[in-house]
Structure formats: structure tokens, C-alpha cells
Structure 1
Amino acid sequence: MWQYLAVALLISVQINKAQTCDSFKSLTILHTIHGTNVKVRLLLYTRIDGDCGSLLSHTNLSAHPQLNLSRPTAFVIHGYRPSGSRPAWLNQIIELLLARSNINLVVVDWNHGAGTVNYLAAVKNTQKVAENLTAFINVMQDHGANLSSIHLIGVSLGAHISGFVGANFHGQIGRITGLDAAGPTFTGLLPEERLDPTDAQFVDVLHTDIDSLGFRETLGHIDFYANGGADQPNCPKTIFSGEYYFKCDHQRSVNLFMDTINGTCSSRVYPCLSYKDYLDGKCLKCDGFGNMGCPLFGYDSIKWKDYLPQPNHAKYYFSTNGGSPYCKTNFKVDVIVWNTETQMGYITVKLYGDSEEAVAIIKHKTLEFKKYKETTLLAGFDRDISSLKKVSVKFHTGKSLQPKHKLRILRLRLTPLDRTEKPLCRYDILLDEDKEVSFMPVQCGDATF
């Protein structure tokens, strides 16, 4: 009897919760064709009800006792929604942000306004959304909220909305994170007409689609360029992949940021004049950041706020994997050869642990190996090997119809960039083309070549 009562009570609680919870509202294709007027819905999530959104009143905050303004508040603001659908990443970012910090998490649902096939109409609506959010944050201030404790996370058009809101508060908002801020119609505009560094105390911006839907130039106190900021690994290269071809690079910004929220997968970034120079290993020094080292991309980048030069127009580069976990483990690889003739080719390095391996294929350009001249490379391994057992190296030219070559390595040095361990070396290695050679490296000696 009690079992039946317990089941009935559980069903009743679930039904009541479903009736009181609210969520992001998807639109139909008819809505997007005809267009929609702006309507901003603010959905509150907390650790108490992380899977249950509460529709906030824009004016009567006393009706929401779960909104605790002594805690920090984060706003997640989506971008253009041509299909009117719910963002695929929304549930995950809610879960991750609440797990990381005990905050008020407000999802800004402006699908009515963003859900239209007319991109220019959505752009025009961003100002109206910003006015709405500004009014709401003013009410929060009236109830004791501190602007410094507010974090706006804006995706695409949402990044510029965040900038407009921040400008309305004269840069007193604590932080704005722009995830591949929209480029079309915003490129070339004055700072006050888009996101810019004066919009918050700290503005961090990620670029993943600068050659299409994203913004190319710097917008924040620190600007991250993943894989050069354009083509992302495992994204389609041709239009034959359908709509995913158009949105994959752009949407990757959200996936990369989410991967950093729990602190287990953050990529070290390096200020550099170009992505090519970064890949060539020319920008791997981290002087000027105190004892912090080069910044980390993502949620924890604010820790470098006081170490960044101002104004900071540098571009910070990093490389990623094609799927989660996106972070790579980076090593600087220095090679000295003693071939009589210059050798041209590529290098593949593998790290082996107890039961796993990590690979770095260095092929962004043909490398030139000259006798006694040190060649520096950046090797980004697809995973971290905590207990290194051995290393393997393979030399290849990519020219299958020509005679095989040999690379005579006088010294190979592996320097970890993501931790403080000492460099590892191997001396006197003979590499036959396309044949992998394995060895156990040792700590480098003091000898120079």
C-alpha cells in the first residue's frame, strides 16, 4: 500500500514540477519566414533546480525567492536562430556553469527576434534586446546586485548584445565573454557600435570562424584564435555537407568554451603575430605574465586580467583537437641533424604511457633540416600522457615515388610547455623515411651543439 502511495506522490511532484518549470521556446518555420517581434524571456536556473527554468518577471524580483542577488549572476545570450530551434548546447552549458559555481544563471531567450530568415532584422533587434537586459539589470541593482559580479556570455550576435549592455553601464559590468562574435554587418563599425574592451572590466573573446560568420579583428582585453580562428578540425570542408558546413566553425566556439568550464581541459595560449609563426614555434615564450605563465583560454582566463598589457591588440593562438576533450598537450621540439645535404620533410612524434599513446603530426609546412642548424617545432599532442614510458619519431617526405631518404638526428629535445618538467632528450638517431623509431628519452645534459 505504501509503495503505491510513494509512486503516486512521486508522479504528483513530477507533474507539478513540469507545470511550474519553463524552458526556451522553439519557433516554427512559419515564424522564421514571416519574422517575429522582439520578446525577451529570462529563464533562471540555480543549483536547487538546475533542470527547471523559472520565468523571471522583468520588474518584480521579489516574486522569485530563488534569485539570490548576493551570489554572482551569469547571463547566457544566444545568437541568430534562422530555424527558430533551441540551441543544441543550451542544456550542457547550464549544467556545467552551475556545477562550477553557485550562481544565478539566467538564459536570455530572445528567439522571438533572433528566429527569422532575415539576418538584418535579427541584427536590428539586438539593440532592443540590450535595452531590455539593461532595464532588468537596473532592477537587479535596485535590489542590491553588484555590477562587478555579473558575467555576460554572448554567442555570435549575443556577444554584441553583451557589448551594448556593458556600454549602457559604462564598462562597470564584471566580465563579458564573446564566443565568435558575429562579423557580418559589424565588421568595420566603430567600437560603440559593437563589442569592444571598454564594455566591461574584463572582455575575453574567442574567434573560430573569422573567414565567414565571425569577427576577424580583436574585440576584447584578450582575443583567442583557435586553430588560427578560421577552419576548425573535423568541420566540413565542402558545401556538400549541408547546413553543418555553414555553422560548424562558428558553433565550435561554444563547444571549446564549455570544455574549459570544469577546469579539466584548458589550452595554453601564446601571443603571436600570426598563426603560422605560432605553428613554427616562434612565439612560445611567456615572459611578462608574472609567475602565471602564458594565459589559459576559457573560463579561467580572467585570472590573467591584471597581467595583460593595455591596450592589448595581440592575438593569442592555440590549437585544438577535433572533438572533446579539445585541449592539446604542447611540447617544443628542437631538432639538430648532421645530414650532409639539406633534407625536406615532416615529423610525427608519439608519446607512450602505460596503456595509452598521444600523437603529434607536424605537417603544416615542409620542414627544412640543415646540418647543425637547430629546427624548432611546436608539437600539439592529442592527449596528455601522465607517465611517459617511451617516445617514437617518424620522418616522411610525402613523396612516395622518389627514393627514400634518411634523417640523421644529432639531438632531439622535447620541452613540455604546459608543465614545469625538465626537457627530455635523445641523441644520435637514424631515421629511415616512413619507419618509426622508438626510444626512452633522458633528461637533457648541458652539452651544446
Structure 2
Amino acid sequence: MKNCLWISLVFTTLSYSEAQRSLLPPVGPTSLRQIVRAYFTIPEGRSSSLNDIRILHFTNSTEPTGTYRLGSVRKILSDPGFDPDKPTVLYAHGYVEFTTDDSVRTIVKAYEQNGGYNILILDWSNIAFGDYTLVSLGVQSAGAEIAKAMVRLVRGGLSREGLHFVGHSMGVHLLGAAARDMAAAGIKVPRLTGLDVAYPGFYPPVLGKAASPADAQFVDMIHTDGGGYGAPHALGHADFWPNGGIAKQPGCVSATIFLTSEDFCSHWRSWGYWAEAVAGSSFWSRQCDDYDAFLRGLCADNPPVRLGPASGTEIRGNFYLRTAATVPYSLGKRGAE
């Protein structure tokens, strides 16, 4: 309680100071949201048990048509609107996030607009809140339980060929752990996509084993805050580096306060770019040695490659592109120039 009061006081002081002077970085009503959430170990109405991890099935972008704990996950197969022959995406949110946050809602809306997938959202918010170190240390055991649930789905009739894991930040490591355990059970996940995979504690793997190209048949990564909240080096079979893959991404304010929502802007751009690509925008890129060579046009002879689910799984290497500062972020073919 004292911590929350202290945080509120800091926010009030910053807001007042910002109103009186223009020297501080911008702050707003949600600026300290991530910090406050780190002090809540269990969201209201949830338990810290691994059995309370849930998978939500969406057929529209508003409310899930079904919510299932891992132990009863096979009921998804009889959920109205679920087509076991369709490709299925399983999306995992990041640290201290709810499934009602903009990140998840934006992803769900994009896949609904796409229309070609069963949409499953992994709700692990019951163990994703609290101390970052403790949450990170629990990723491997949580991944093992998720793997068991997904194996039951596949053996119950879910098409394994169309299974696509997509995670943001620490959610990438969670799905990587699940994919490794699924592989040990004889089911190799076809594709794992990482959206600015969490950096602190995982590279080097002090707090847990990091996601890697060995986790799935094809692993692609999108980097938007490399060296900050996201990892700064290539991690997949294919790695995409919008605007060089580092902060500040276009449209994000240059001066921020550490751990505020404004400071996470570049980290969160990864799911914004991915969602727009899923919904149909074309983010063209080119394979190149580095961003400087890309900007100097030294890779202009390399064929353009699309970031997103339409990229294909045969590509390898590092791919660079430019984006716009506001929605729509896609620059089309110009983004690869």
C-alpha cells in the first residue's frame, strides 16, 4: 500500500511539474501503469496456480467466445466458430499485461480482419504480475503446462501444420519453452514469431532459457527496442529490424522516464507492426548486413521480403525496413528503399 501511495505521489509531482515547466519528459494518466502493476502479484479474481492459466478463443474483437483453463482445453475443439482445419494462432502477451490491454485487443482485431485463423489468446496474467525476476524464473514451468495443453489439442484434432505461436516480450520466452516441451512430446511447432523478445535476464540466460531457432521449424523475430527492453541481436532464422530495430521508433517521443508507458513505446511498436501486417498491410524489407548499408542502398538488388505472416518460412538472415511514425505504419515498397 505504501508503495502504491509513493507511486501516486511521484506521478502527481511529475504531472504538476510538467504543467509548470517544460523540462521534464511527457507524462500522462497511464504513464506509471507498468510500474504500478509490478506491485500486484495476482490480478483480482485470479490465483497464482499454473492451473489458472487460461486460453481464450475469439471469433470477434470484443469478447472471447470461450475461456478455458489448461486442464479443460480440449473443449475449445467444440467451441462454436472453431474450425480445427484452419490455421491456429496462439498469442501470448508480455509481462504485467491483461488480455484487455490494447496490445491484445489490437492483435485479436487484426486476425479477425484477416479471417483466416482460429484465434487463441494465452492469458497468463495470473503469474505475469509482480517481481520481474520471479516471473521470469517461472516461465519454464509455465511453458511445460502450456505444452501439455497444446499437445492435447493437437491430438484431439487441431491441425498441427497450421499452428503458429506469436508472443510479445517475455511471452516469446514462454512460448519458446512450450514449443520445446511439445517437440519433446513429438510435436514440433511449425512457426514461432517473437515480437521484440524480452532482453533483461534472458541474454545471457540468467533467469531462464531464452527462445531460440531450435524451438520451432521456423522462428522469425521483429526487433524494435534492441538493447533496451528487447534483445539487440539476431535470434531467429529470420530477424526483421524496422528502422534499425532500436529505440526510438518513429513517432515515439525522444525523452522519456524509465519504465513509463512512454518509455515502452518502441518496445510496443513490434505488436503494432505485426498486427498491421496480419490485417493486410505490406511491410516490405530487404536482406542486408546492417541498417547503415540498407540506408545507403547497398542491398537494393536483394529481392524485397514481407514482414508478417506472409513472409514465407524459407527466408534466412537479417531484414531491414523503414516505417511511418503513425498508423498506418506501413510504407509499402518505399519502406524497403
In the alignment, which of 171, 178, 197 is matched to residue 213 of structure 2? 197
Residues 252, 31 of structure 1: alpha-carbon distance in 2 compared, 3 angstrom cutoff = closer
- Render the CA deviation track for 1:9-30: whole Å, top value 9, x for unaligned: xxxxxxxxxxxxxxxxxx9998
Once the two structures are TM-superposed, the CA of residue 89 in structure 1 deviates from its matched residue by: 2.4
Paired residues for 1:227-376 under 5 Å: 227-231=243-247, 232-239=249-256, 243-263=260-280, 265-286=281-302, 293-301=303-311, 303=312, 305-306=313-314, 308=315, 312=316, 314-330=317-333
Paired letter, 1:46: T
Q: Is this contact kept in 2: 1:182–1:215, CA < 8 A? A: yes
In the alignment, which of 41, 45, 61 is matched to residue 35 of structure 1? 41
- Render the CA deviation track for 1:404-439: whole Å, top value 9, x for unaligned: xxxxxxxxxxxxx78xxxxxxxxxxxxxxxxxxxxx
Give distance in 2, aligned partners of 1:65 and 1:40: 18
- TM-score, normalised via structure 1 length: 0.59
- Render the CA deviation track for 1:265-293: whole Å, top value 9, x for unaligned: 2221112222111111111112xxxxxx3
2:138 aligned counterpart, secondary structure: helix
Paired letter, 2:272: N
In the alignment, which of 107, 110, 113 is matched to residue 99 of structure 1? 113
Give distance in 1, aligned partners of 2:266 and 2:113: 27
Gaps of 5+ in 2: 1-32, 43-47
Structure with higher strand content: 1
Residues 213, 94 of structure 1: alpha-carbon distance in 2 compared, 3 angstrom cutoff = same
Q: Does 1:88 align with 2:102?
A: yes
Residues 202, 28 of structure 1: alpha-carbon distance in 2 compared, 3 angstrom cutoff = closer
- Render the CA deviation track for 1:354-400: whole Å, top value 9, x for unaligned: xxxxxxxxxxxxxxxxxxxxxxxxxx5xxxxxxxxxxxxxxxxxxxx
Residues 195, 41 of structure 1: alpha-carbon distance in 2 compared, 3 angstrom cutoff = same
Give distance in 2, aligned partners of 1:297 and 1:198: 21
Other-structure match for 1:432: none
Gaps of 5+ in 1: 1-26, 287-292, 332-379, 381-416, 419-449
Paired letter, 1:72: P
Once the two structures are TM-superposed, the CA of residue 247 in structure 1 deviates from its matched residue by: 0.5
Aligned length: 290
Other-structure match for 1:131: 144
Paired letter, 2:39: I
In the alignment, which of 191, 206, 215 is matched to residue 231 of structure 2? 215
1:151 aligned counterpart, secondary structure: strand
Give distance in 1, aligned partners of 2:166 and 2:67: 19
- Render the CA deviation track for 1:118-167: whole Å, top value 9, x for unaligned: 11112112223212211111211221223222111100001111111111
Other-structure match for 2:63: 51
Once the two structures are TM-superposed, the CA of residue 62 in structure 1 deviates from its matched residue by: 4.1
Paired residues for 1:163-202 under 5 Å: 163-170=176-183, 172-189=188-205, 193-202=209-218
Residues 329, 74 of structure 1: alpha-carbon distance in 2 compared, 3 angstrom cutoff = closer
- Render the CA deviation track for 1:40-98: whole Å, top value 9, x for unaligned: 11111126x8633411243442474324323222111001117x684212222212212
Give distance in 2, aligned partners of 1:93 and 1:323: 17
Once the two structures are TM-superposed, the CA of residue 223 in structure 1 deviates from its matched residue by: 0.3
Residues 90, 296 of structure 1: alpha-carbon distance in 2 compared, 3 angstrom cutoff = same
Structure with higher helix content: 2
Percent identity at matched positions?
A: 24
Give distance in 2, aligned partners of 1:297 and 1:145: 26
Once the two structures are TM-superposed, the CA of residue 99 in structure 1 deviates from its matched residue by: 2.5
Paired letter, 2:320: Y
Residues 95, 28 of structure 1: alpha-carbon distance in 2 compared, 3 angstrom cutoff = closer
Q: Is this contact kept in 2: 1:209–1:250, CA < 8 A? A: yes
Q: Identify the structure with bigger relative contact order (alpha carbons < 8 Å, sequence gap 6+).
A: 2
Alpha-carbon RMSD across the aligned residues, in angstroms, is 2.8
Other-structure match for 1:77: 92
Q: Is this contact kept in 2: 1:59–1:139, CA < 8 A? A: no
Give distance in 2, aligned partners of 1:210 and 1:58: 33
